[in-house]
A = this chain, B = another copy of it.
Amino acid sequence: MAETRPEEVLVNFEELRVLEAEFDDAEVELVRKSEALYRPLWEKRAELIKKIPHFWTLVFEQAPPEFDNFVQPSDSKVFVDCLKSLDVSRFEIDDPKGSPRSFSIKFGFGDNEYFENKVLEKKFWFRKSKDWDGHVSEPVKINWKKGKDLTGGLTDAAYELAQARRKLAKTANGSAKSKETNLPEYKALAKKIEESTEASVSFFAWFGFVSSYRWISAEESEEASRARAERLEKIKRGEKVEEEEDDDEDEPDYQETEVFPQGDEVATLIAEEMWPSALKYFKYSHEADDDDLSELDVEDMDEDDSSDDEIDIRGLVGKGRKSSDSPPPKKQRKA
B279–A322 contact, CB under 8 A? Answer: no
Is A1's beta carbon under 8 Å from chain B?
yes
> A16 to chain B: which residues have CB within 8 Å?
48, 279
Which of these binds chain B: A19-27, A153-161, A179-187? A19-27
Q: Which residues of B contact A243 (CB under 8 A)?
A: 319
Cβ-based interface call for A301 (8 A): no
Out of B23, B279, B326, name the residue touching A23 (CB < 8 Å): B279
A26-56 interface (Cβ within 8 A of B): 26-27, 29-30, 33-34, 37-38, 41, 44-45, 48, 51-52
Q: Is the CB of A273 within 8 A of B331?
A: yes
Shortest Cβ distance from A15 into B: residue = B48
Q: List residues 58-110 of chain A with CB under 8 A from any CB of chain B.
A: none
Residues of B within 8 A of A306 (CB): 1
Interface residues on A, range: 35 or more
Q: Tell me, yes or no, whether A253 is within 8 Å of chain B by CB.
A: no
Once the chains are docked, how many angstroms separate the CA of A10 from the CA of B317? 11
Check if B12 sits within 8 Å of A51, measured CB to CB: yes
Known contacts A19-B44, A321-B131; is A331 also within 8 Å of B329 by CB? Answer: yes
- A328 and B268 contacting across the interface, CB-CB below 8 Å: yes
Within 8 Å by CB of A316, from B9, B41, B244, B272, lies: B9
User: A175 an interface residue at 8 Å Cβ cutoff?
Assistant: no
CB distance from A78 to the nearest CB of B (A): 24
Residues of B within 8 A of A37 (CB): 26, 29-30, 33
Give the CA-CA distance A328 to B15 in the complex, in Å.
23
Chain B residue contacts of A10, Cβ below 8 A: 319
Q: Which residues of B contact A2 (CB under 8 A)?
A: 308, 310
Known contacts A37-B30, A333-B38; A310/B134 CB under 8 A: no
| A127, B243: Cα distance in complex, Å | 50
Question: 1/0 per residue A1-19: CB within 8 Å of B?
Answer: 1111010111011011101
Q: Is A17 in contact with B321, judged by CB distance below 8 angstroms?
A: yes
Q: A30-B33, A30-B34, A333-B272 are in contact. Are A327 and B134 (CB under 8 A)?
A: yes
Query: Is A209 part of the contact surface with B, judged by Cβ < 8 Å?
Result: no
| Residues of chain A from 148 to 183 with CB closer than 8 A to chain B in the complex | none
Ordered by A's residue number, 17 sampled pairs between the chains whose C-beta atoms are within 8 Å are A9-B312, A16-B279, A20-B279, A22-B41, A23-B38, A29-B37, A30-B37, A34-B332, A132-B326, A134-B326, A134-B327, A135-B327, A243-B319, A246-B322, A273-B331, A276-B334, A329-B331
3 tightest A-B CB contacts, nearest first:
A276-B333, A332-B332, A2-B308
